[in-house]
Amino acid sequence: MPTWVACVAEVSVDPETGAFQVKKLTLVADVGTIVNPDSTIAQFQGGLLWGLSLATKDSSSVSNGAIVQKDFIAYNPLRMKDVPHIDVHLVESHFYPVGSGEPATTLVAPAIANGIAEAVGARVRDLPITPEKVKRALK
């Protein structure tokens, strides 16, 4: 879909441990004609949170064609305590309306990786981004 989006992640990183916190996600989007601004922003917020979960928490695995994690104890999605401040800006456009949920999901991991690299110079290149991977990248 021709949705144009950009995302920046504000992160803090402890260079001793590799622990990081995503403090803020800022998204700018051009979705063509905005039919319902509140709904469009909500869709982007959900996409950003799903992207954050995939980038930093998701650790599902498959064995014999089935997902191993059968409950929320074994599967570790994003929790409320991990939700950062989210700021979504919609660009006025006169093109036809397009999608507003999934495009945000794909931007979060690169934005976090770029924020970590800018903060401490460690480039993490695989998901999920974890403190252990940040610490290894610092060496």
As a whole number of angstroms, the distance between CA 22 and CA 10 comes to: 6
CA dihedral 38, 7, 106, 42 (to 10 degrees): -10
20-30 and 85-90: which strand pairing?
parallel
Give tens-digit pLDDT for 90-139. Answer: 998 888 888 887 899 999 999 999 999 999 999 999 999 999 999 999 98
Q: What pLDDT was estimated at residue 1? A: 62
Q: What pLDDT was estimated at residue 94? A: 86
Task: Mark residue 104 as left, alpha or beta (left: phi above 0; alpha: psi -120 to 50; beta: remaining).
Answer: alpha
Q: Where are the domains of the chain?
A: 4-59+79-138
For domain 4-59+79-138, give the CATH number: 3.30.365.10
Give tens-digit pLDDT for 34-64. Answer: 999 999 999 999 999 999 999 999 778 889 9
pTM for the model stands at 0.89
Q: What pLDDT was estimated at residue 9? A: 98
Q: How distant, in Å, are the alpha carbons of 6, 14, 35, 73, 129 from that of 25?
A: 10, 19, 24, 27, 16
* Nearest by Cα to 5 from 26, 27, 24, 25: 27
